[in-house]
Structure 1
Amino acid sequence: MIGFGTDAAQQDIISYVALGDSFTEGMSDPYPDSDSVPNGRYRGWADRVAEHLADHVAEVRYANLAVRGKLIDQVIAEQVPRAVELAPDLITLCAGGNDIIRPGSDPDSVAVAFAGAVEELSRTGARIVVFTGFDTNWQPVMRHMRGRIATYNMHLRAIADRYGCEVVDVWSMRILDDARAWSGDRLHLSSEGHRRMALRVCEVLGVPAEGDWKEPWPVAEPRHWRAARQEDLYWAREFLVPWIGRRLTGRSSGDNVRPKRPSLEPLRLHRE
């Protein structure tokens, strides 16, 4: 198994492929120099992890196949075969969340599909990292999904044990129970949320990275209840209603969106 952290400096090249949906694509975390980035693509925790790896390795070859809105079957059909073809040293896989949050979804069935994906990816010999789902208890509109997510998480842990994967336990990251960890749509991490997630992934990998994902948030300014209510109404109109509309019509935010890094290419850093 490939070494990371202090051992990574002993290697000339590390290859890394990220699979999943909007979480891994990096939604709501634009590059600081986004005007110079092709297609204005997002950064996100996976790009940040690749950057941290590049601090310790001569060359990081990185592909990100994740596309917003993808369901587990789409990830399996469109991304897993490509990842197997690329045969990287490291794979991160986060998938199934878009299935779980749909009304009437069955976490047991989604987990069976996820296990099949991990089995296929494990044949590459890569180090595989998987992610639990977020605890939605802090979000009133999504709190009712908590039981399904918890059930799915238990399956994910069992799958990880079966195939020797490492787990990023997102559920236990209480630091994300703060609105500042989330973008205005309340569905995707903010830039600060992605930064902290990258540090957590590096911790699991054993990759030294400057910063502490558990660092307490600064004391928040008090908000008047009327301002909070107006924000809730704006969010429902601008984000919740369109999201429900896409679900009802079978459309996805990822329709016609291509992976931002479809091939393993040397990483070019875009630091702040």
Structure 2
Amino acid sequence: MRDFATGKDIVSYVALGDSFTEGLNDAYPDIGPDGAPRYRGWADRLAEALAAEAGEVRYANLAVRGKLIRQIAAEQVPRAAELRPDLITLCAGGNDIIRPGSDPDVVAAVFETAVARLARTGATIVLLTGADMAFQPGMRHLRGKIATYNMHLRAIADRHGCAVVDLWGMTVLQDGRAWSWDRLHMSAEGHARLALRVGEVLGLAADTDWNAPWPEAPAVDWRLARRADLRWARQFLVPWIGRRLTGRSSGDGRHAKRPNLDPLRPRG
């Protein structure tokens, strides 16, 4: 496809970030060679949409779950610059922002160094903001930090000529069905809607509306909701706190799922 902003043909795409871009929890139907789930996610879906329009794209996804902004800047950004793709998406800093005591001003400063390095490649760059998580009880207290960080990202995009996909403004994501059981990663439907939104920003045609209203949800018994809260705390929050206390990360020992610009053809 042709990027109407730059006049360039987009035939290669590199996605950078953490678990959000790696694709958790949008699993492919099969499993990987290690017996673990293989994740698709919005970036894979976007690459597939690009391939459907162009016939083929070369696609790399360097995102690894658990990565902090300094790790992404040090490990993924130089590799992306080396690959010199036509399109780069960057969604990063979320793991920093949710940590107690983190400063969105400091996180944004590191983010801008990464964007400045990527901008020198001449690629079309798309930045993604954080979503408004006020509807999630366990995330509501982070709303101010996320909003502050988002304002920084918009200013960085203006300074470096980047496009912005505003997740905060995607009110369709303020529904529990857009998110998976851990309340931090999107569901398959959430990933699908975000891929459509990024494609829209890039000028891709689509026969599905990312902003289509959700079907009416059935009423939820408050006792079932409380049980769900307890289950979430036991299965997600407690292990997350344990990793923070011991200095471990969910990405320890993991590598990018698509480290090279390999050809990707339309699905089917």
Q: TM-score, normalised by structure 2?
A: 0.95
Q: Deviations over 1:95-152 (max 9, x none)?
A: 1110011001011111110000000001110000001111111111111111111111
Separation in 2 of the partners of 1:175 and 1:164? 27
Listed as ranges, the matches of 1:66-85 within 5 Å are 66-85=63-82
Per the alignment, in what secondary structure is the counterpart of residue 25 of structure 2?
A: coil
Which residue number corresponds to residue 42 of structure 2? 45
Q: Is the 8 A contact 1:83 1:121 kept in 2?
A: yes
Q: Please list, as runs of the form range in 1=range in 2, the aligned pairs for 1:56-205 lying within 5 A after superposition.
A: 56-205=53-202
Distance 1:107 1:208, change over 3 A: same
Query: Which residue among 228, 231, 239 is the counterpart of 1:231?
Result: 228
**What is the alpha-carbon distance in structure 2 between the residues aligned to residue 141 and residue 56 of structure 1?**
40
Q: What count of residue pairs does the alignment treat as equivalent?
A: 265
| 1:227 Cα offset (Å) | 1.0
Q: Are residues 1:15 and 2:12 paired?
A: yes
Distance 2:185 2:221 in 1: 25
Q: TM-score, normalised by structure 1?
A: 0.93
Residue 246 of structure 2 is matched in structure 1 by 249
Aligned with 2:23 (options 18, 23, 26): 26
> Is 1:212 matched with 2:209?
yes
* SS in structure 1 at match of 2:107: helix
Matched residue type, 2:28: Y
Residue 125 of structure 2 aligns to which amino acid in structure 1?
Answer: I
Matched residue type, 2:182: D
Per-residue deviation, 1:259: 0.3
**Is the aligned partner of 1:54 residue 2:51?**
yes
CA contact (8 A) 2:129 2:168 kept: yes
Shift of 1:3: 2.5
**Is residue 22–residue 67 contact of structure 1 (8 Å, CA) maintained in 2?**
yes
Structure 2 gap segments, 5+ residues each:
none
The answer (yes or no) to whether the contact 2:126–2:165 under 8 Å persists in 1 is: yes
Q: How far apart, CA to CA, are the structure 2 residues paired with 1:133 and 1:192? A: 18
The change in CA–CA distance for 1:30 and 1:214 in structure 2 (over 3 A counts) is same
| Deviation of 1:171 (Å) | 0.5
- CA–CA distance in structure 2, aligned partners of residues 58 and 80 of structure 1: 27
1:26 shift after superposition: 0.3
- Counterpart position of 2:262: 265
CA distance in 2, matches of 1:96, 1:65: 15
Local SS of the residue matching 2:207: coil
Give the Cα separation in 1 of the matches to 2:3 and 2:205. Answer: 9
Residues 195-236 of structure 1: CA deviation (Å, up to 9, x unaligned): 000001001111112211111111111111111111111111
Task: Say whether the 8 Å CA contact 1:31–1:270 is kept in structure 2.
Answer: no
Instruction: Quote the Cα distance in structure 2 between the aligned partners of 1:206 and 1:38.
Output: 36
> Is contact 1:4–1:207 with CA below 8 Å preserved after alignment?
no
- Do the aligned partners of residues 38 and 49 (structure 1) sit closer, same or farther apart at CA in structure 2, a change above 3 Å counting? farther
Following superposition, the deviation at residue 270 of structure 1 comes to 4.6
**In structure 2, how many angstroms separate the alpha carbons of the residues matched to 1:254 and 1:150?**
26
More helix by share: 1
Which residue number in structure 1 is paired with residue 3 of structure 2? 4
What letter is aligned with 2:17?
A: G
Compute the displacement of 1:268 (Å).
Answer: 4.3
> Measured at CA, do residues 160 and 38 of structure 1 come closer, stay the same or move farther in structure 2, by a change above 3 Å?
farther
The amino acid of 1:239's aligned partner reads F
Sequence identity percentage: 68
SS of the residue 2:182 aligns to: coil
